[in-house]
Amino acid sequence: MKKSLILLFVFVSCVIQAQPNTEIYVFDLIKADSNYTIHNPINVTHQNPGYDNQPYFTDKGDLLFVSTRQGQTDVARVGMEDFKWTWLTATPGSEYSPTQLPGSTAFSAINLEKDGTQLLWKYPPNGKPEVIIPDLIIGYHCWFDSKTLVSFVLGDPSTLQVCDSITKACKTYGKNIGRSLHKIPGQPKVSFISKEKEHWEILSLDPASGKTE
């Protein structure tokens, strides 16, 4: 019998606003033979009312997420051993989609400033935050490796772009895509949703060649 952690998003209220009140729960995921069951629900964001969402597990098993504070969202971290919170950002704007950089203790996040400027930033643990790709309005992102970024870029239509975070060079490999980008386990590829056809498809992208299938 094996245990691990699984995430579940629960909407505790449905207020008509941009950010509804949400909570993040974790469960024990138990495998017995070929069957899986979930047990022991724990609300790890109960300390803070408002919008708690967009969780991301780090390599160490901690959970990054965003939470409402003083009318905007900051990035926080909660440990899976003691479930204690730590605030990681305190900016005038709002952060979204915190994601650990591969092989690093730094994380990236979308920063939406009060004037509407939206850029992807890097947040080192003991350093000054910096913009990763200037002038590119990224809505969602996935790190393929320590320097290669796969992004959902806002526009009409949205585009799938692969950027080198060192040279800042970007290439477009698709359009009209969904918001879900994930590195595929065991393969040098990233998955994404294509909305180009009537029936949406899950496709893979090789960031090195740009090939999709």
Listing from the earlier edge strand, what are the strands of the sheet with 190-194? 182-183, 190-194, 201-205
Q: Are 64 and 98 in contact (CB under 8 A)?
A: yes
Whether residue 83 is contained in a domain is answered as no
Whether residue 37 is contained in a domain is answered as no
Structure tokens that stand for 115 in this block: 């004037």
- pLDDT by residue, tens only, the chain of 213 residues: 444 555 444 444 333 345 678 999 999 999 999 999 999 999 999 888 889 999 999 999 999 999 999 889 999 999 998 999 999 999 999 999 999 999 999 999 999 999 999 999 999 998 899 999 999 999 999 999 999 999 999 999 999 999 999 999 999 999 999 999 999 999 999 999 999 999 999 999 999 999 999
pLDDT computed for residue 139 by the predictor: 96
Residue 18: C-alpha distances to residues 15, 50, 189 (Å): 9, 11, 33
Say what the pTM is: 0.86
Whether residue 176 is contained in a domain is answered as yes
Phi and psi dihedrals of 31, rounded to 5? -110, 125
Phi and psi dihedrals of 134, rounded to 5? -65, 140
The CA distance from 69 to 30, in Å, is: 34
Whether residue 6 is contained in a domain is answered as no
pLDDT computed for residue 179 by the predictor: 93
Whether residue 169 is contained in a domain is answered as yes
Long-range contacts of 89-96 (CB under 8 A, 24+ apart): 89/123, 91/129, 93/117, 94/66, 95/66, 95/121, 96/54, 96/66
Domain residues for the domain of 170 are 137-213
Number of domains in the chain: 1
Whether residue 51 is contained in a domain is answered as no
pLDDT computed for residue 47 by the predictor: 84
Report which DSSP code applies to 37. Answer: E
Whether residue 194 is contained in a domain is answered as yes
Whether residue 207 is contained in a domain is answered as yes
* 78 HSE (CA, 13 A, CB side): 23
Q: Are 139 and 178 in contact (CB under 8 A)?
A: no
The CA distance from 167 to 30, in Å, is: 44
